[in-house]
A and B are shown apart, each in its own frame.
Chain A
Amino acid sequence: MCTRCHKVLIAPRRKAGMQIIAVSVAVVVLIIAASVFPFLQISAAGRVNSVSIMDAALSFTQGPMLVLALLTAGFIIFVPLLRMLLTLYVLVPVVLDRAPARHAIRAFRLSEALRPWSMAEIFALGCAVALVKVADLATVGFGPAFWMFGVLVVLVIAQDSFMCKWSVWNSLEQPRQL
């Protein structure tokens, strides 16, 4: 246990690292699945509309708003996905006691830099707010993507709190020690 930031160290590397890797894999799968399946469904007076997360992100599509659509899609889907993939890219060789992958350092640096820009959990809270607002007026149904996204958010937060960056940097730098 690292005395500095009191986070669980990646040692014994295999077990703790495996945890993080497992969680990351789950998050990747869930993100991909959640962005494809229907997320929410609203029905009022016989009219039905079903949206997926991509539809929500791409709802800004007029003129300069297209930029915002891309930004939103990025914040919700692509940045978390990229972060997870990068984490996997970095951790897998480390955990398996092999040399770190090429550009692992840059990858990890990118992953950390993107941390404040991963807004999946903010999106989840925004959905809650929006649902409360709309549920009065119409019937709202939850698609499978909704539950997947909820689990996903929990896992992302868990993964962030599990990982001790210092240890990762350390192991990246001195792969054969420890």
Chain B
Amino acid sequence: MAETPPPVAIKPVRKRGLSGASFIWLIPLLALGVALWVAWQSYTSRGPVIVVTFQDGAGIAAGETKLKYRDINVGTVEKVGFGAGLERVEAHIRLKKDVAPYVDASSVFWIVQPEVTAQGISGLSTVLSGVYIEGSWDSEIGQWANTFRGSDVAPLIKPGASGLQIAFRTTTNGTLTDNAPITFRGIQVGQVGRAQIARSGAFAIVEALIYEEHRHLVNSSTRFWDTSGFSFSVGPTGAEIDFSSLATLVGGGITFDTFVSGGEAVLDGEVFDVFEDKESARTSLFTVSEVDPLQISVIFDENVSGLAVGAPVELSGFRIGTVDSLSGIVDFNQFGDSRVRLNVILSVQPARLGMSGDNTADAALRLLQDRVANGLRARLASASLLTGGLKVEMVEVEDAPPARLVAAGQDLPVMPTTQSITSDAAATVEGVFTRINNLPIEELLNSAINVMNSAEGLMSNSDLQEVPGDVSTLLSDISGLVTSDDVKNIPVALNATLTRVEGLVAELEQQRIAESLGKTLVAAAEAAGAVTSSVEGVPELVAEIQTVAANAATLEFDVLIAELVSLTSSAEDLVSSPETAQLPVALAGALDQLNATLKELREGGAVVNVNQTLASARTAADSIAVSARDLPTVIARLNTLFAQAGQTIEGFNKGDELSRSAQGALRDIQQAAKALEKLARTIERNPNSLLLGR
């Protein structure tokens, strides 16, 4: 028997307001409802599943790899597996519901992964984020399809994108790379797709797309040519290297132009030929039809080597046909001996003859017959001096023995010939060499060497080498002085300059002229060091300077020096008080320039320079005389004077051919740099294009 504790008093609970049991059940019902609603939502908001098969998985991961359309996620890969017989990889992709209706039977899917092609690298961003599948479909709802066959590469023409779809055909030497751009005047207006060999195997055919906004540029008289690589030519203007841009240099490109007007609009599917260069593209326009040429046979008596199949046939300098074949011919009956003659069969394009009326072979034959009766003959001529190739020329020969162009039944009409003019290039070259040989080159060289030796001796004179340096040091010192804004430091700087000047003068004391000059400079230094603030004596000085300048052209050197000495001594007289904050700068400059000028004189420089210098010194002194307050401007003018002198020396070399061609080369480099810059900008805009330029 258990003792139970006393019962606990139980107080009745106050009934609370709204605690009805029926009300509390709302909570679990609500919870249940919410859970079911969320489940239902996530179930119905799922889109349908499509199956896309690929050749290989390329990094598709179930649950992770996304399907993108125009760079927006529109689906996720749910499951990856193999198809029947392990043939293809199947990816089950669940589409987003709103996009699902648009995925119709005409959709194309491909995997975007890193790719390296001639055009560049593409898809690099997928290295970090994983590969993704890209799809392309139009914005119309078409027939629903469940399974798709993924393609290996991105399609050139995305469904829904519009443009002019054409095809290109290249022949033996064509170089078309996949995805090459089609440019027009430097702007990309289309793209080339993948190349395939045509069924007959004779050429490569490749589809191309001209973007919609540029389709009007292409009509039936547009000709395309290949701009890949670079072209190098040597001609009268010199060697030239030309390429469109770095992109086409490496990856190839096609460009086009409509040379003549009157072309008709072109529909999708038109096939164009791609020519090798612009010239052949242009001339192809004038080749109205390659069919139906007129074939003529020509028999040459001489045995000249150098004529090849494909050599041009010219009439009046204009090419009218080509050499079709060559053979030897021996016909005792016809020629009277058993020599082997050269039988050339020409094919003449009737259209090239430029006849009005119909362009048939018969009409061409009649024309030629007429001309032959008037003296037209065929002959061999040199086509190229260097290579020794020959061409067949038709010329009007005066006093030709009468002959006719006979069309005899099945045989080809035979054209009469005349004397061939073939220059023997080899002989000519040899003659040139002989002439060069006979030149007195050694004597030339000897005298040249002597000249150079003496020039070198002169230039290696130590004094000469030091002078320009000192002058420039002087000038730079003066400009430094002038530009300094602490005027009170002028006397200090002046002293430094003057000491340098004295040093220079000490060097020059070897020379007779330098001696007196040295005295002059010392005096000038003293004068500069003690210029008075008053401008009274300056006009006098100026007048003296002017006198000196006026007599410069006629004076002899010694007299000039004497005048200068007197000038500087009068300047010294002028200076009486130790006022230093005024003129010394400009005056020292003028005097130093005099120094430089005198040195030039010693070297044999022109008197003209002296004149110029003294004239400039006069003008400087004039402006000094005008107003002592104009010092800053004076100094500035002196500065410009010095600068001009320097420029004159520089400008001597302008107009040199070397620099001109260097500038030309610079321009070319600039163009290449511009192409590089374009590339860099494309990369900046779209990092993906770093890899493929898309």
Residues of A whose CB lies within 8 Å of any CB of B are: 1-4, 8-9, 11, 14-15, 18-19, 22-23, 25-27, 29-30, 32-33, 37, 46-47, 144, 148, 151, 155
Closest 8 CB pairs of A and B: A33-B35, A26-B28, A25-B28, A18-B21, A26-B31, A144-B38, A22-B24, A19-B24
List B contacts of A25 (CB < 8 A). 28, 31-32
Task: Decide yes or no whether B70 CB sits under 8 A from chain A.
Answer: no
Is B25 at the interface (CB under 8 A from chain A)? yes
Given contacts A23-B27, A148-B35, contact A3 B9 (CB under 8 A): yes
Please tell me if B129 contacts chain A, counting CB pairs below 8 Å. Answer: yes
Q: How far is the CA of A134 from the CA of B247 in the complex (A)?
A: 45
Other-chain contact of B39, A3, A22, A33, A151 (Cβ < 8 Å): A33
CB contacts (< 8 Å) of A30 on chain B: these are: 31, 35
Nearest Cβ distance between residue A148 and chain B, in whole angstroms? 7
Query: In the complex, what distance in Å separates the CA atom of A25 from the CA atom of B30?
Result: 11
Contact (Cβ within 8 A) B38 A22: no
Q: Contacts A1-B13, A8-B13: A33 and B38 contacting too (C-beta < 8 A)?
A: yes
CA gap between A36 and B211 in the complex, in Å: 50
Chain A's closest residue to B41 (CB) is: A144
**CA of A151 to CA of B8, assembled, Å:** 36
Cα A30 to Cα B29 in complex, Å, equals 11
- B25: nearest chain-A partner, CB-CB: A22
The answer on a CB contact under 8 Å between B19 and A46 is: no
Is the pair B31, A29 in contact by a Cβ cutoff of 8 Å?
yes
Q: A25-B28, A29-B35 are in contact. Are A4 and B8 (CB under 8 A)?
A: yes
Q: With a CB–CB cut-off of 8 A, which chain A residues contact B19?
A: 15, 19
Whether A18 lies near B35 (C-beta < 8 A) is: no
B408 is an interface residue with CB less than 8 A from chain A? no
Given A15-B19, A151-B31: 16 more A-B contacts, CB < 8 Å: A1-B12, A2-B8, A3-B8, A14-B21, A15-B20, A18-B21, A18-B25, A19-B19, A19-B24, A22-B21, A25-B32, A26-B28, A26-B32, A32-B35, A33-B38, A37-B42
| Cβ–Cβ contact A155 & B39, under 8 A | no
* Interface flag for B11 (CB, 8 Å): yes
With the chains together, A6 CA to B149 CA distance in Å?
A: 73
CB within 8 Å for A3 and B11 given contacts A19-B21, A19-B24, A148-B35: yes
A9 touches B10 (CB 8 A): yes
* 17 pairs, CB–CB < 8 Å, chain A vs chain B: A1-B13, A8-B13, A11-B13, A15-B21, A18-B24, A19-B21, A19-B24, A22-B21, A23-B27, A26-B27, A26-B28, A29-B31, A33-B34, A37-B38, A37-B39, A144-B34, A155-B27
Q: Once the chains are docked, how many angstroms separate the CA of A27 from the CA of B19?
A: 19
A contact residues around B11 at 8 Å (CB): 1, 3
| Closest B residue, CB atoms, query A49 | B64
Closest to A147 in B: B34
Report chain B residues within 8 Å CB of A144: 34, 38
CA distance A125 to B458 in the complex (A): 95
Closest chain A CB from B473 CB (angstroms) = 62
Interface contacts (Cβ under 8 Å), in number, total 68
Bound-complex Cα distance A23 to B30 (A): 11
| A39 CB → nearest B CB, Å | 12
Chain A residues closer than 8 Å to B35, beta-carbon distance: 29-30, 32-33, 148
Neighbouring A residues of B20 by C-beta, 8 Å: 15
Q: Which of A27, A37, A47, A144 has the most CB of B within 10 A?
A: A144
Minimum C-beta distance from B413 to chain A (A): 77
Q: Tell whether, in the assembled complex, residue A26 and residue B42 are in contact, meaning their CB atoms are under 8 Å apart.
A: no
> In the complex, how many angstroms separate the beta carbon of A2 from the nearest chain B beta carbon?
7
Check B129–A22 contact: CB distance below 8 A: no
Q: Which residues from 1 to 16 on chain B have a C-beta closer than 8 Å to any C-beta of chain A? A: 8-13
> Which residues of the partner chain A approach B27 to less than 8 Å between Cβ atoms?
22-23, 26, 155
With A and B bound together, what is the CA distance between A8 and B35 in angstroms? 30
User: What's the Cα separation between A11 and B8 when bound, in Å?
Assistant: 14
Chain B residues with Cβ below 8 Å from A27 are 31
- Chain A: minimal CB distance from B632 (Å): 62
Query: Which of B19, B35, B39: most chain A Cβ within 10 A?
Result: B35
**Of A3, A9, A14, A23, the contact of B28 (CB 8 Å cutoff):** A23
Residue of A nearest to B35 (CB): A33
Cα–Cα, bound, A21→B11 (Å): 23
Counting chain A CB atoms within 10 Å of each CB, which of B21, B30, B32 scores highest?
A: B21
Expressed in whole angstroms, the minimum distance between the Cβ of A173 and any Cβ of chain B is 10
Q: Is the CB of B9 within 8 A of A29?
A: no
Q: Assess A22 versus B10: contact at CB under 8 Å? Given A29-B35, A37-B42.
A: no
Q: Which residues of chain B come closer than 8 Å to A3, judged between CB atoms? A: 8-11
Q: Kindly list chain B residues whose C-beta atoms are within 8 Å of the C-beta of A47.
A: 129
Nearest CB in chain A: distance from B652 CB, A: 62
**A26–B13 contact, CB under 8 A?**
no
**How near does chain A come to B356, taking the closest CB pair, in angstroms?**
70
* Residues from chain B with Cβ under 8 Å of A37 in the complex: 38-39, 42
Least distance between B300 CB and chain A CB atoms (Å): 77
Q: How far is the CA of A111 from the CA of B527 in the complex (A)?
A: 117
Of all chain B residues, the one with the shortest Cβ separation from A19 is B24
Contact A29 B28 (CB under 8 A): yes
Which residue on chain A has the smallest CB distance to residue B30? Answer: A26
Q: Which of A11, A26, A46 is within 8 Å of B129, CB to CB? A: A46
A3-B11, A37-B38 known; A29 vs B25 contact (CB < 8 Å): no
Q: Chain A contacts of B25 at CB under 8 A?
A: 18, 22
B39 and A9 within 8 A (CB) = no
How long is the Cα–Cα vector from A158 to B459 in the complex, in angstroms? 108
- Docked complex Cα distance between A26 and B32 (Å): 7
Q: Max chain B CB contacts within 10 Å: which of A22, A32, A46, A155? A: A22
CA distance A14 to B12 in the complex (A): 15
Report how far A33 CA is from B12 CA in the complex, Å.
39
Chain B residues lying within 8 Å of A18, measured Cβ to Cβ, are 21, 24-25
Contacts of A22 in B (CB 8 A): 21, 24-25, 27-28
On chain A, the residues within 8 Å of B38 by CB distance are 33, 37, 144, 148
- Complex: how many Å from CA A18 to CA B31? 16
Residues of B within 8 A of A19 (CB): 19, 21, 24
Residues on A with C-beta less than 8 A from B10 are 1-3, 9, 11
Question: In the complex the two chains form, is A9's CB within 8 Å of B8's CB?
Answer: no
Closest to A18 in B: B21
How many angstroms between the C-alpha atoms of A25 and B24 in the bound complex? 11
A174 to chain B: closest residue by CB = B4
With both chains docked as a complex, state the minimum distance between the C-beta of B565 and any C-beta of chain A, in angstroms: 85
Q: How far is the CB of A98 from chain B (nearest CB, A)?
A: 17
Residues of A within 8 A of B24 (CB): 18-19, 22-23
Closest to B129 in A: A46
Closest CB of chain A to B336's CB: distance in Å? 92
CA distance A3 to B27 in the complex (A): 29
Most buried by B among A2, A9, A29: A29
CB closest residue in chain B, given A144: B38
**Which chain B positions have C-beta within 8 A of A23?**
24, 27-28
Listed residue (A15, A18, A25, A26) with the most chain B CB atoms within 10 angstroms of its CB: A26
Tell me the bound Cα distance from A37 to B43 in angstroms: 11
Which one of B25, B27, B42 has the greatest number of beta carbons of chain A within 10 Å?
B27
**A2 contacts which chain B residues (CB < 8 A)?**
8, 10
- In residues 600-641 of chain B, which contact A (Cβ within 8 Å)? none
Instruction: List residues of chain A with CB within 8 A of the CB of B12.
Output: 1
Contacts of A29 in B (CB 8 A): 28, 31-32, 35
Min CB distance A37 to B, Å, is 6
In angstroms, Cα B8 to Cα A23, docked, is 28
Decide if B34 touches A148 in the complex (CB within 8 Å).
yes
Nearest Cβ on chain B to A49's Cβ, whole angstroms: 10
Measured between beta carbons, the chain A residues less than 8 angstroms from B32 are 25-26, 29
Most buried by A among B12, B27, B31, B35: B31
